[in-house]
Structure 1
């Protein structure tokens, strides 16, 4: 199963969806999650973060207005506060994120997803 956390208004997200569904997913089911319509829970975010590895802020869109307005760049902000912010403001989640076989990558650029199929 391939899961794509997708924002249809984002060109990179659309390109990644197309790449996965046409080039890589011939024999695999693909679930597309429009996370702005169905925000992830804290537990789902923690699982996704573990699959991605790296700092939590890497899976966040730090250039969004909400990131600045909520003061999330402060060093004193905890991971729990960041998870909570993403659940309440799903626009903060980096996009797209593709999950396959217990691994995940951010599809920026879309070609990053090739690592999941190597």
Structure 2
């Protein structure tokens, strides 16, 4: 099985998720999203496949999220995604995509749902 992980090597949950993928025998493509951010359309598709809203994929604990006003209830999905594209640190990680779907793998064991 092929898998793509939107990975941050500095994140423990992301590293553990990558380990699960490798241990499962997946052919893993690692996309370090801080170096190679997804596009607006890619994020829309990932969140749609995961069945979540962009707000659920927002790393709201990052100080820049509040600075940009992204934690306000009236912020649109497009505004959140546009901010994520410009500031990929705002993307909650790790996102994993396989032929069985997409999951935001927090906790890391959620990846097993798509293996």
User: In 2, distance between residues paired with 1:54 and 1:88?
Assistant: 20
**Correspondence for 2:108:** 110
- 1:29, distance to aligned residue in structure 2 (A): 2.1
Moved over 3 A (4+): none
Within-5 A mapping of 1:89-104: 89-104=87-102
Q: Point out where structure 2 has 5 or more consecutive residues left out of the alignment.
A: none
Deviation at 1:55, TM superposition (A): 2.2
1:51 Cα offset (Å): 0.9
Q: Name stretches of at least 5 consecutive residues in structure 1 with no aligned partner.
A: none
- 1:18 maps onto 2:19 in alignment: yes
Please tell me whether the aligned partners of residues 53 and 77 of structure 2 are also in contact (alpha carbons under 8 angstroms). no
**Normalised by the size of structure 2, how large is the TM-score?**
0.93
Alpha-carbon deviations, 1:35-59, whole Å to 9, x = none? Answer: 0000111011111111111222111
Partner of residue 76, structure 2: 78
In 2, distance between residues paired with 1:85 and 1:92?
A: 8
RMSD of Structure 2 on Structure 1 (CA): 1.1
Please report the TM-score for the alignment, with normalisation by the length of structure 1.
Answer: 0.91
State how far apart, in whole Å, the 2-side matches of 1:104 and 1:93 are: 14
The aligned residue for residue 47 of structure 2 is 49
